[in-house]
Structure 1
């Protein structure tokens, strides 16, 4: 087995330039989640690379205007349970946001470009894990890649989240190839996200002549905002953020309408219920007589990733592989962002998130990935698959 591991490492070393070129090609195929045709082009390119390695690809559609989910499977007749690598090929950036064709740039060991970090770099790592395992003729466990085409939309208006859970059932484990952390930590817990919309109607008028007659919607909203943000409880990881405020229209007017948007992050269903009940109670409470308020909400379909004993055991095993082969051990981190990792974990399997290329500034035009982490992580995760029967 040690000889096979050495062959894996040699394979990765001999294909470093190919990994970089493939990431450049993949990232240059830009595609915001609303740009179905563009995302399809990126997914098709990845499909072609996987099929060259013997993967059978099938597709689960989610909506007419979205790129669906690709399930690529290799060696499904192998005796072990499938090992999943997952990710998404859409971005938060619209095509052209980085300027012109072929927008990726390499400088000082860093790869800049749309989706390089979030998260096409991670999918390239998964691709080369499969390539390296094929090179040594690995036959123990099926390898399954689940590639989503609209993760950045939070699966709004479709059941992509349910498809991910169903496709993950019966697997041994999953590595979600999201953005690698700069501190070399893997994520074992993520939050669920709610967006709340508060609307307040009052009575408008002239700020000087109608001060006593008016019912200021902004002032009513401010009273509510103060109570709502106090719902934050960092001891259990709950955060409530005032994200957007819109109201008024004239510098000498009393606002007759105000809208406020809140971002809420929770780690469990008890907190989700506490926040929801409290939000409605505060909305129903009137601070300025004559105003009326309404609350609506949307919950992202990215389920919270709960830390489990099985996930910690998997992390410990990955660290053993890393340490035994001269790599730094991974730390453990809990993150406030949401991802599809929770949807896979809902199938009852251990999931490690943020296994992709290390970098910074996801969802930002400064986004970049550190090239050397492509190679090291491909080696570590291929080595993990090779030795996973020791888990």
Structure 2
């Protein structure tokens, strides 16, 4: 094991410039979730790089979303595989690369998706290359990259395909954005999105306001009721994030709508969450108004399962072996595709990608030095499971 560890370190340290160049190339490809051609170009570039080590790669074509890449090293080895996970799409619109190209400054890399998560893709690819160079072939290493993670796979069946690829794996490591503070993620909340619509009765606000039934007033009561559903002890939070309604100031409004975000830790909570929202919908504060509730999306939680703590211990040992502090395992509110590997019964550690901050913003950045350090740790922990 010590020889493998040293060979991994030598390979990564000897290919720092190549890693930066590959990272740069990925960031310079416009690949917002709506840009299928751009996401597909990222998949093609990743395939080109993995072809150099003889990995077997398949591109799963999607009609309306970016394609999905599945690539395997040691595919013929009859052992349970290790899964590496990530995504190729970003949240940024076309034109962002021209405005903010990949830039290195003061030990940090900047650019759209540099942290979330083209740095993580770079780490996964070069971890596989390091393992190949070191001659490690104990079990298959399977890389799965989605093309539409940032929009919750709303136009593909990628979530189901991830579960299929994960079944039977011994462990999964998601190279999602690493977090400042030397942390990895062992549990993530699920996310539910709902729209609530209220219909009232319009009337002239000056001449006959008594004939109106204000949808906005009804919704104001409901917003307060929904926010009050938050259960901090259980870890379930409700947030009314968008509100709209009415037409002009001098008319009693007959329509109002809100968008609701709910975060939760366990899938068994979903029925209770919806029941509570339906109770709010069915409670009338302004007579003559009617309310409907519609679920728009559901991202399942990444639950902490048997095997998670043992896998975390191996990650901590791998980090320590390269002189890095042992990372702590934390729970976060944001979702990721790690939920689907856990749903497939695979112990999973998330946020194994490059560390940085300001995800999804013009100030997004990643630590260059930790790109190399985390690539070493990822490659080594694969050999430990």
TM-score (norm 2): 0.96
1:20 aligns with 2:20: yes
Aligned partners of 2:192 and 2:263 also within 8 Å: yes
**Deviation of residue 43 (structure 1)?**
0.9
**Deviation of residue 98 (structure 1)?**
4.3
SS of equivalent to 1:364 = coil
Which of 290, 300, 315 matches 2:288?
Answer: 290
* Correspondence for 1:361: 358
1:66 aligns with 2:65: yes
| Structure 2 Cα separation of the partners of residues 157 and 284 of structure 1 | 32
SS of equivalent to 2:207 = coil
SS of equivalent to 2:65 = coil
Aligned partners of 2:103 and 2:110 also within 8 Å: yes
| Structure 2 Cα separation of the partners of residues 64 and 86 of structure 1 | 22
Aligned partners of 1:84 and 1:143 also within 8 Å: yes
* Correspondence for 1:172: 170
Aligned partners of 1:195 and 1:261 also within 8 Å: yes
* Correspondence for 1:313: 310
| Structure 2 Cα separation of the partners of residues 303 and 33 of structure 1 | 20
CA RMSD of aligned residues (A): 1.4
- Superposed CA deviations along residues 74-102 of structure 1, whole A, max 9, x for unmatched, are 111224321111100011112212434x7
**Deviation of residue 270 (structure 1)?**
2.9
Unpaired runs of 5+ in structure 2? none
| Structure 1 Cα separation of the partners of residues 11 and 72 of structure 2 | 22
Aligned partners of 1:32 and 1:90 also within 8 Å: yes
**Deviation of residue 158 (structure 1)?**
3.1
Aligned partners of 1:186 and 1:352 also within 8 Å: yes
Aligned partners of 1:303 and 1:340 also within 8 Å: no
* Correspondence for 2:343: 346
* Correspondence for 1:244: 242
* Correspondence for 1:139: 137
1:215-294 correspondence to structure 2 within 5 Å: 215-294=213-292
**Deviation of residue 222 (structure 1)?**
0.7
1:151 aligns with 2:138: no
* Correspondence for 1:42: 42
* Correspondence for 2:127: 129
1:383 aligns with 2:380: yes
SS of equivalent to 2:23 = helix
**Deviation of residue 324 (structure 1)?**
3.1
Aligned partners of 1:79 and 1:140 also within 8 Å: no
1:96 aligns with 2:95: yes
1:70-89 correspondence to structure 2 within 5 Å: 70-89=69-88
SS of equivalent to 1:118 = helix
Unpaired runs of 5+ in structure 1? none
Aligned partners of 2:186 and 2:350 also within 8 Å: yes
SS of equivalent to 1:356 = coil
| Structure 2 Cα separation of the partners of residues 265 and 55 of structure 1 | 38
| Structure 2 Cα separation of the partners of residues 303 and 238 of structure 1 | 13
**Deviation of residue 8 (structure 1)?**
1.4
Q: 1:284 to 1:387 in 2, by over 3 A?
A: closer
* Correspondence for 2:115: 117
Moved over 3 A (4+): none
SS of equivalent to 2:101 = coil
SS of equivalent to 1:234 = coil
| Structure 2 Cα separation of the partners of residues 115 and 73 of structure 1 | 24
* Correspondence for 1:211: 209
SS of equivalent to 2:286 = coil
| Structure 1 Cα separation of the partners of residues 300 and 261 of structure 2 | 15
